[in-house]
Amino acid sequence: MAERPKDYSYFHDYAWAAAQNEGVDPAVFVRQIDLESGFDPNALSPAGAVGIAQIVPEFHPEVDPYDPEASLRYAARLMREYLDHFDGDYAKALAAYNCGRGRVDRGVRRYGDRWWLILPEETRRYLRVILYGN
């Protein structure tokens, strides 16, 4: 017998609310979390990212990545910080979430408007899926 699909609708709604609370576009944030983990609070990546928001504990020790609600609030707050840092630019904020703010800052300094040239292909794909659905 096939396993029933898990119902993560509660986390979807919680992510939407967390984004709204931080002034982050909730539709973008929900797509981001869906791509990060499929809303699975137990998701693990080969790169060491943990939980629903795929937080790397080494870089974010202040949040429990196994607590989905805390992780979603933290991720929404982090996106708000990145959006503030990058003057509301969602592509740069999302790239920073995926591959690190330092890398995006270096890309902006080195390449200006072509900042994305410094991004790994995984991050470029991440942006395409979240922002353009492909």
> One of 3, 22, 36, 62 is an active-site residue; which one?
36
Tally the C-alpha atoms within 13 A of residue 4's C-alpha that lie toward its C-beta.
3
| Closest C-alpha to 68, from 8, 23, 126 | 8
36 flagged as catalytic: yes
Question: CB under 8 Å to 79, separation ≥6 — which residues?
Answer: 19, 22, 24, 29, 32, 93, 94, 97
Residues noted as catalytic: 36
